[in-house]
Structure 1
């Protein structure tokens, strides 16, 4: 029996490891487009930029793990064709047959045509090479388009390196879609206090090269002269192979609760998977924890597991002296009530977000004992005790 994995990122590596953990002794083929063994992406905008880690530190597995565990690792090449009827794919001049297949092709940076066509120095951040190149420019003048997780983490690293940073964001607050207005203000205040020139409700209207170098004009009239422009406006799932093979695709590869695609022998997980979550409905999650956990779950499903993937999303960020962990999912409806313990001044706080009386998401900043308690509240009806901020979070559970 052969199980093939297309996409040698963290999801693919996690799936391969789980197959062996579960006792699968058949062939495993793991194919990746990048010229590296699988690695974790969070360090690209954190430790590597801050000089606290290297690309080698980001490796998903030790160098010899794949050979030691009988995993054929093929890197630096793309699968050129997938035939789901014949259960074969083409890669590097070979035709490889599979019994079951996992697609874990991830996502690519969303590009900004205005920037790409401007002729000015433009960067994106998705790969080790891009991170190492960006690190060389952090001490200069940086314009960041997009105040999402990548944009803000790079802003933090650049300020630590002594760089001048301007961030432009079209939304009224950074991260507002992910964490809501109340907590988004924490991050807006954080970056402004650290000297970031943050322009919200603002767009980039002009980007050009003139005799003075790069000239950028924002919709609020501000003119910026950056050495480099970083575009950090999100990611696009890499569905090209799946689409060409006739799999159902809609904002990602459509998978059922077990992570199976429209073909019963093909699964998808990680950034590329648009998952039918049993509690949250359709969603696609681009975070480290989901890459690991969905990779592991897909492996178990391919071995006959019937359990749905029901884990709630989790993500984290480190910016300046602030660390944050978040669990749950707000969705388009957001929340109609928020309960905050702690205070904004010290930024040691936790928050529980409630919709129609049910806890849908929660997060903390610098409150490291809170995570397990916050996760335990997900999906529960909020109580008066939870809402009473004079009661410690750990003591809010009744019975």
Structure 2
């Protein structure tokens, strides 16, 4: 056997030996997971010190030990000490057990290794993601369309919301010397915008609002928090006063970040009232529905999300109350024209010719380039 054939057989490919090795390895992996699930204790990994000693004792070898030995080793240092998120005592975080359908989808996602940055790297996946975004848009009340994208989770989706909102606000309030629209993408952030532009959220909003504004170069100082009421919701009267005070100070509120499901209390802000105030101050409304977005599928509790259709952008997390494996999130944008603030053309991925001929252009809707096909999990879920 030539070295080329030998190396090819070590890859996951159409070679008969590769297929046989894959089937054998997957069967052994499934058996290992099944045995782990039968252990009744939530956690058996020991202390941090004990775990470090076990894991730090691992040293790779030049020759390798083979698939089966590697699996046995992973069972000992990873699988057995892992937290059982399906256990009834595992409730400290928004970290869900997963549906069997999600596990099935993960096998297909990993095996096909599609990349969502261009249609020719994921032909069926690109069309399916657009189809699912359209379905989600209709569920929230945005109407038909493909303006949205799957993300790694809430922090990334929230970043897209405040990023687009900031650039939209700057485009609306700043002009270049020739009178044309200011573009943060092309021209950078205007010097005076650093202190003028603000994002407003509840004191109970997710920490990613501050984190994202800092990453965007605006700093924590750009985030103004509003007190909550007795139900842990954003206090609408306090919001009205905050907006009025900021206007009097000459500040520009780019975005109000509402929360549909706070981390600690699950509180859902009054989305209709927030929209009304935002309109009075020409502000974007982004809703972080990572926690509470699953109510979109509820017949009995969907009304708690009334007003979500009035927002400009939405964060959804399927690896919370949709019971999907990590990671699986989505960002929805009401007005597709606002994607212009992050649009970028790379001829080998999303040429103008492709767009003119109806080829899906997902890379221009995402902060990521290479991206896995996490949307498949929702296709099976649906």
User: If each structure's strand is expressed as a fraction of its own residues, which one has the higher value?
Assistant: 1
TM norm structure 1: 0.24
Task: State which structure, 1 or 2, has the greater radius of gyration over its C-alpha atoms.
Answer: 2
User: If each structure's helix is expressed as a fraction of its own residues, which one has the higher value?
Assistant: 2
The higher relative CO (CA closer than 8 Å, separation ≥ 6) is in 2
